[in-house]
Structure 1
Amino acid sequence: MAKKQHEDVVRKLYEARKRRDFARAAELLAEEVVWHEPGDFDYSGDYRGRQATASYLAKLAEVTEGTFLLEPQEMISTEEHVATVVRWSAGRGGSRAAGKELAVYRFADGKVGEVWFFTEHDDDEVAEVFSFGR
Structure 2
Amino acid sequence: MTTANTDIARTYFQAVQTGDMAALGELLDEAIVWHQPGDNQFSGEHKGRDAVFQLLGRMMEASRGTFAIDTIHTLMASDDLVAATIHFGGRRDDASMSMDGVDLLRVTDGRITEMWLFSGDPAAEDAFWG
**Same fold by TM-score, threshold 0.5 exceeded?**
yes
TM-score for the superposition, normalised by structure 2: 0.88
Can you give the 5+ residue segments of structure 1 that lack an aligned partner in the other structure?
Answer: none
Aligned to 1:106: 106
Percent identity over the alignment is 26
> Is the counterpart of residue 28 in structure 1 residue 27 in structure 2?
yes
SS in 2 for 1:87: strand
**Aligned equivalents of 2:129, 2:46: Cα separation in 1:** 16
Distance in 1, matches of 2:11 and 2:56, equals 14
In structure 1, what is the Cα distance between the partners aligned to 2:62 and 2:11? 22
Summarize deviations over 1:85-122 as a string: whole Å, max 9, x none. Answer: 11111101132111111111111211101111222116
Q: 1:129 & 1:33 partners in 2: Cα distance?
A: 26
| 1:16-63 superposed Cα distances (whole Å, 9 cap, x missing partner) | 222223332122111110000121111000110111112212222221
Root-mean-square deviation (CA, aligned residues, Å) is 1.6
Cα offset for 1:127? 3.4
Q: Which residue of structure 2 aligns with residue 76 of structure 1? A: 76
Task: Tell me the distance in 1 between the aligned counterparts of 2:42 and 2:87.
Answer: 19
Q: Displaced runs of 4+ in structure 1, greater than 4 A?
A: none
